[in-house]
Amino acid sequence: MEKRYVTDMTQGNEIALLIKFTIPMLLGNLFQQFYNLADTVIVGQFGGEYGLASIGAVGSVNFLFFSLCMGMGAGVGIMISQNFGAGKDEYVKKIVGNSIYITLVAGILMSVVSVFFARPILTIMDTPEECMADALLYMRIVCGATFLVAAYNMISSILRALGDSKTPLIFLVVACFVNVVLDLVTVVGLHMGVAGAAIATVFSQTIAMIGSIAVGVKKNPYLQLNPSHKELNTDIIDKAVRLGIPLALQNALIAFSCVALQRVVNSFGSNVMAAYTATGRIEQLVQQPFGSLGTAVSTFAGQNAGAKKLDRVKSGCIKSVFLVAAFSILMIIVMFAFGENIIRFFTPNAEAIRIGARGLRITSLFYFTLGLIYVFRGMLNGVGDAAFALINGLIEVVGRIGFATILMAIPGVGLWGCWYTNGLTWAITGLGCVLRYLKGKWRTKVFA
């Protein structure tokens, strides 16, 4: 079978393979975050007094509804990477064929539920009344298109599991420029506010999804299926669910913890909400190198676990930690030196700039532990340690809720507890991932 559009990561220099895989995916993730940045900057400057705060109030809820789709995509990706590493080409094609059914069910379910429960969720989060109308509109448009996110996430997971991190990048670049143009047209030109930003984001996601599927099917031999590959296979669906549901619950729990913290942020008013939204967007960018490396480690671990090269899995994981350390130090310097200038890019509000700059300095001190989460979580997910995914999510819930409760009760901490809560949560979650790795049970979790 011709494999020009796949990458075998079971042979060759570990760090070179990881960096080669990470760079295109990092560029793709940065462009994807540029969607959010475009929404944030344009809405913050031209979307009305409460536009930025309204989008910020919805961000963690969006992730909550995307989490099931992300988890199922990750589960399918793990199965594909392990079986690809084991050389089971026909079985890989059957997994791809059955991913269609998984995507349809997860995507449509989350789209319907998110639209139906939008108002009750925003009410429970104590979304300020002045932000409610815009937040509700933005959530219903973006979350209502969750099925598109499910499809894009699934095709991306499949391609990356096969070692192709370039195809999703190509269409994210195209979609990014479309998103910016549409933001300018709908928000600035047509004065549509958050609705225009939401429509631009959904349309751009659709372009990325359609393009990735079209090129993947045309160029990648593992996506060129015959009718037998598309036959419903309950064994494959069962394995995908057993891997994907814990990962989905992990994502859902993380999202739930973020929703709980957002509720605390909302209690401090629109200035703090705007500052927290801006710092959140910046930290999403900071997380992209970590996240891209973590996905590379996951694919690397999956393929090598399938090939029974577990010492190679360990070596690649440890070497990735040094990359995390170098980037973390660089980001601390940037945030302390240029915090105010960075926040000013998002909002002209002087008070929000002051608050956001200090918030960035607080969380930057914890970036190394954030990087550890991505590396070790990626490795553990790649080898199929699904049970820990759920534990990992629970740690984040306990951390965000627990630290927020404790810190808010300490005199003098006040609103800064929102940022300290995130940092301390990263610290205990990263420690949990490292301890799980050191225990070594991951060596027995391979599915292939």
Burial of 409: CB neighbours in 10 Å, binned 0-12, 13-18, 19+: exposed
* Residue 62 placed within a domain: yes
How far is residue 281 CA from its own chain's centroid?
Answer: 12
Task: Report which residue type is found at 245.
Answer: I
CB-CB contact of 415 with 358 (8 Å): no
Q: Tell me how far apart the alpha carbons of residues 346 and 37 are, in angstroms, rounded to a whole number.
A: 8
Do 289 and 329 form a contact (C-beta atoms < 8 A)? no
pLDDT in the model for residue 2? 45
- Structural domains counted in the chain: 1
34, 176 Cβ separation under 8 angstroms: yes
Does residue 303 belong to any structural domain of this protein? yes
| CB contact set of 217 (below 8 Å; sequence gap of 6+) | 223, 224
- Looking at residue 423, its pLDDT comes to 92
The pLDDT of residue 97: 92
pLDDT of 1 reads 43
Q: What angle do CA 405, 406, 410 make, to 5 degrees?
A: 120
Closest CA to 67 of 31, 101, 109, 30: 109
CA dist 373 → 297, 380, 432 (Å): 12, 10, 8
Q: Which domain holds residue 282?
A: 14-444
* In a domain? residue 7: no
- 423 domain residue, yes or no: yes
| 165 belongs to a structural domain | yes
Residue 6 counted as domain residue: no
Cβ neighbourhood burial of 233 (10 Å; 0-12, 13-18, 19+): middle
For 362, other C-beta atoms within 10 Å of its C-beta total: 18
Task: Identify the residue whose tokens are 């808010």.
Answer: 408
**Could you list the pLDDT tens digit for every one of the 448 residues in the chain?**
445 567 788 888 888 888 888 888 788 777 766 666 666 677 777 766 667 777 777 776 777 777 778 888 888 988 898 888 888 889 999 999 999 898 888 888 888 988 888 889 888 877 878 888 888 888 899 888 888 888 888 998 898 888 887 887 788 788 888 888 888 898 888 888 888 888 888 898 898 889 989 988 888 889 988 999 999 999 999 988 888 888 888 877 877 787 788 888 888 887 888 888 888 888 888 888 998 899 889 889 888 988 888 889 899 999 999 999 999 999 999 999 998 888 888 778 888 889 889 999 999 999 999 999 999 998 998 888 877 878 888 898 888 888 988 888 887 788 888 899 999 999 999 999 999 999 888 887 665 5
Say how far apart CA 352 and CA 201 lie, in whole Å.
25
CB-based contacts of 424, cutoff 8 Å, min separation 6: 366, 399, 403
What integer pLDDT is reported at residue 280 of this predicted model?
85
User: Within 13 Å of residue 109, how many CA atoms lie on the same side as its CB?
Assistant: 11
Flag whether 8 is in a domain. Answer: no
In a domain, 1, yes or no: no
Token pair recorded at residue 7: 């990458």
**One-letter amino acid of 96:** V
Count of C-beta atoms within a 10 Å radius of residue 64 = 21
CB within 8 A of 204, min separation 6: which ones? 35, 175, 176, 178, 179, 182
The answer to whether 198 and 141 have CB atoms below 8 angstroms apart is yes
Q: At 225, list the tokens.
A: 């299926």
The model scores a pTM over 0.85: no
Rounded-to-10 torsion of CA 252, 258, 262, 264: 110
Contacts for 404-413: CB closer than 8 Å, 24+ residues apart? 404/260, 404/261, 404/264, 408/264
